[in-house]
Structure 1
Amino acid sequence: MSTPSSRPRGSRTDDLLALTEPARALVSAGALAAGLPLLRLAPRGDGHPVVVLPGWLASDASTGTLRRWLTRLGHPTAGWDLGRNQGPRPEVVDGIRALVQRLADEHGTAVSIVGQSLGGIYARRLAERSPHLVRQVISLGSPLAAVAPRRRGAAGDGMYREYRRLRAVRQVRPARALPMPSTSVYSRWDGVVDWRTCLQEEGPRSENVAVHASHLGMGVDPAVLWIVADRLAQPPGAWRPFQRPARFGLRALFPAG
């Protein structure tokens, strides 16, 4: 488990992070190719079903690498199959719940949900409303805690304008912990959302885990894939906070916080 500390974020830093997002995402993709042999050592769980939700304006194509990885780990894995993510419309909210309900019925067990960016917010909303369907939530770069609008917004604020109108607050406050295990993966080098908005209250079954990834690169970053595998491998009723792996130099992939 990591305890984040503050890092100053001025407009120049925000702009630089935003401008370098695509390039840094490519770096993560390259690191994934180089790190595949080590990723084969990642933990494996009981093969329960997993749903993966894409970020804002993205589709299932953006989560292809992550879903293939989870399938390789033995998890029946489904994308959301709702086209491009254009916001929390009623058909989207209902469609996600129907998908999770179907998988839970087919496999006779609750479903874990991995949500990238805005997809993580959808995952948490469903977990709050239908906790019996959700085993665990893992959010990747998801702005769980809204920030009050500023004169000069952080890069990417417009992408979350609709959500922030609903839950804008004056200060950044960690999101409330969920009733089931939840992990929020965040990066201080996120060029789309302020990393502080990705934090949740930490507790016996909730945590924040830091990575070096860009926002766009989280779905292909080897550290993120390891975290997802490790979290999904936690036995029901015996969840433990994430511990940075020490073998084979893997610890270097995970900042302290």
Structure 2
Amino acid sequence: MNIDLSLPPQFPKPTLLDILAEVRAPFEFVSLALNVHALSKAPKGNGRAVMLVPGYLADDHSMRPLGAYLKYLGYDVYYTELGRNMGKVNTDMMRLGERVKSVSQDLNAEKVTLIGWSLGGVLTREVARLFPDVVQQVLTLGTPIVGGPKFTSVGKRYAMLNNIDLEEFELDVHQRNAIGLTQPVTSIYSKSDGVVSWQASVDIYNQQARNIEVNSSHMGLGVNPKVWLIIADVLAG
């Protein structure tokens, strides 16, 4: 991966057309019913622990459809139990880390695989970095890996609500990412994402990272049958 990481790369934000196309998210959820056969044929799990982490302003309920599917496949599914994700990354990554640590201890030191949607993926990556002894693998869905909120359609509002400087925050995110992860990591992204720049969702920091493109809205990534099949394949790999 021959990329100059001395400074964070710069990317465009999602276009207006991408933002408007987010209206298709409910249809992606409905399409699950049309793909029941393919979903039922996905590779089965081995009972390992998987924790699902919701995105910005969402809570565990947003992850329950995916959780029900992974449980059907044979995984031991856990949720954050931290309430709504309000974007307090520095606080929430420690809270989530303690939650993952607790689950691992309850499972006799078994490591936990983390799956995070959007900002939830930022949290999973930070937990993997700070608590490597309890994290087995990381998968992210439409996560703003590069630049944090800067290259998202909600970045300015997020910065205002959280009283942060987007440029300074971008550098902090870049420095954290540059440390790298030791676990297997997979980033699932869509070039028609209307919330997060697809380029910012590509992991350029880790040699072992798998970046997988899908056709999906941002709001539909967690309920898209193709995404579910990819997750099933990655977990079984």
Q: Which band: TM-score by shorter chain?
A: 0.7 to 0.9
The equivalent residue for 1:168 is 170
Residue 148 to residue 189, structure 1, CA distance change in 2 (3 Å): closer
Alignment of 1:64-103 (within 5 A): 64-88=64-88, 91-103=91-103
The equivalent residue for 1:191 is 194
SS in 1 for 2:223: coil
Residue 113 to residue 88, structure 1, CA distance change in 2 (3 Å): same
Alpha-carbon distance between aligned partners in 1 of 2:130 and 2:195, rounded to the nearest angstrom = 28
Please say if residues 94 and 127 of structure 2, whose CA atoms lie closer than 8 Å, have aligned partners that are also in contact. Answer: no
Alpha-carbon distance between aligned partners in 2 of 1:50 and 1:158, rounded to the nearest angstrom = 33
Residue 65 to residue 147, structure 1, CA distance change in 2 (3 Å): closer
The equivalent residue for 2:155 is 157
Q: Give the stretch that moved more between structures: 85-94 or 176-185.
A: 85-94
User: Which amino acid in the other structure matches residue 19 of structure 1?
Assistant: L
For structure 1, list consecutive stretches of 5 or more residues without a partner in the other structure.
Answer: 1-8, 235-257
The equivalent residue for 2:17 is 16
CA RMSD between the two structures = 2.6
Shift of 1:158: 3.1
Is 1:212 aligned to residue 215 of structure 2? Answer: yes
> Which string of whole-angstrom CA distances, capped at 9 and with x for unpartnered residues, describes residues 15-48 of structure 1?
1211221x21112112211001111111123211
Residue 10 to residue 96, structure 1, CA distance change in 2 (3 Å): closer
> Which string of whole-angstrom CA distances, capped at 9 and with x for unpartnered residues, describes residues 148-198 of structure 1?
95xxx75222355358455325xx99x544211000000000000111111
Shift of 1:92: 2.4
The equivalent residue for 1:246 is none
The equivalent residue for 1:28 is 28
Alpha-carbon distance between aligned partners in 1 of 2:188 and 2:57, rounded to the nearest angstrom = 20
Q: Provide runs of 4+ in structure 1 moved above 4 Å.
A: 162-166
The structure with the largest helix share of the pair is: 2
For structure 2, list consecutive stretches of 5 or more residues without a partner in the other structure.
Answer: 1-10
Is 1:140 aligned to residue 127 of structure 2? Answer: no
Residue 201 to residue 74, structure 1, CA distance change in 2 (3 Å): same
TM-score under structure 1 length normalisation: 0.76
> Which string of whole-angstrom CA distances, capped at 9 and with x for unpartnered residues, describes residues 132-151 of structure 1?
110000000000000795xx
SS in 1 for 2:115: strand
Alpha-carbon distance between aligned partners in 2 of 1:232 and 1:92, rounded to the nearest angstrom = 25
Paired-residue identity, %: 32
The equivalent residue for 1:38 is 38
User: Which amino acid in the other structure matches residue 18 of structure 2?
Assistant: L
